[in-house]
Amino acid sequence: MTESGNLASARNEALEVRRLYEILEQRFNGETWSLHELMLGLSNDVGYIGRLILAHDGTWGIDGDSEAELKHKLAETLWWVFVLAERLDIDIDQAFTDTMANIRTGLSGTIARTEPVNPSH
């Protein structure tokens, strides 16, 4: 997904799904979710991912297929990020590209300045 076209395609699909949710929110609530409500949705899903990771590791029991639910919640979390970025008028495609470039540069510099640790110590 690091290719810009794939990220843009995923973003566009996420925003189309968000439009469908907005139709239902208008019908049921008379308004769409606020930025705070969207953030609470993301926070809730991230917390649930924590439990799913525990289930994956065998330390937390859940009903159903934890692996399928983990895939679903990870994808849904990406969806929330696209939705929040759009609501905040952030070009997430460019932000992702810039952020990864900055991190890569920093990590490469640190690797160049350091020596491997002897694993026997």
Does residue 117 sit within a domain? Answer: no
CATH number of the domain encompassing residue 100: 1.10.287.1080
Q: Is the dihedral of CA 27, 31, 32, 34 positive or negative?
A: negative
Can you give the residue range of the structural domain that contains 41?
Answer: 4-108
Q: For residue 57, is it within any domain?
A: yes
Each residue's pLDDT expressed in tens, for the chain with a length of 121 residues? 445 578 999 999 999 999 999 999 999 999 999 999 999 999 999 999 999 999 999 999 999 999 999 999 999 999 999 999 999 999 999 999 999 999 999 999 999 999 998 877 6
Angle at which helices 66-87 and 35-56 pack, to 10 degrees?
Answer: 160
Confirm whether 17 is domain-assigned: yes
d(CA 98, CA 22): 30
Residue 115 lies in a domain: no
**Residue 18 falls inside a structural domain:** yes
Q: Which amino acid is at 62?
A: I
Q: DSSP assignment of 96-121, as one string?
A: HHHHHHHHHHHHHHHHHH--PPPTT-
Report yes or no on 119 lying in a domain: no
Q: What pLDDT does residue 1 have?
A: 44
Give the pLDDT score at 121.
62
Whole-structure pTM value: 0.85
